[in-house]
Amino acid sequence: MVALEGVLPAIESLGATLVAISPQLAEHNQALVSRHGLGFELLSDRGNVVASAFRLTFRLTDALETVYRAFKIELPTYNGDDSWTLPMPARYVIDSGGQVRAADVNADYTRRPEPEEAVNAVKALARTG
């Protein structure tokens, strides 16, 4: 999300709005926004309701849950439920009519598109209308 802050001016200059969604509780999202000085809205998707609607959720394996706990990453504390469920990283460009015009989803959370790709998708939308 911090990397997206770097392209926020370019996105806004194209007349678009950047919004991020996280399963974290609102207070944890707000702390993240404050800590990193994010200039875009970070919404809370408690219980992964939105992510589930897009079929983006997965439950951590028991082994991975153990690793998270060893590093003191307590998802239940951050997300407000005990599901140990996370959304896959996804990025959507949605037009003013609510239609998804570009999407990028990868089951491997370590493989995320470069922020500039979001700018390019918005530019393409601006060209085609």
Range of the domain at 13: 2-128
Q: Tell me, what's the pLDDT at 111?
A: 85
Query: Average pLDDT over the chain, rounded to whole?
Result: 94
The CATH code of the domain that includes 100 is 3.40.30.10
Chain segment 56-108, per-residue pLDDT in tens: 999 999 999 999 999 999 999 999 999 999 999 999 999 999 999 999 998 88
- The answer to whether residues 51 and 45 touch, using CB atoms and an 8 Å cutoff, is yes
More confident residue, 129 or 60: 60
Sign (positive or negative) of CA dihedral 47, 51, 55, 59: negative
Distance CA 116, CA 13 (A): 14
As for how many domains the chain has, the answer is 1
Torsion sign across C-alpha atoms 61, 63, 66, 72: negative
Structure tokens at 101: 């015009």
- Provide the pLDDT confidence category of residue 109 given band limits of 50, 70 and 90: confident
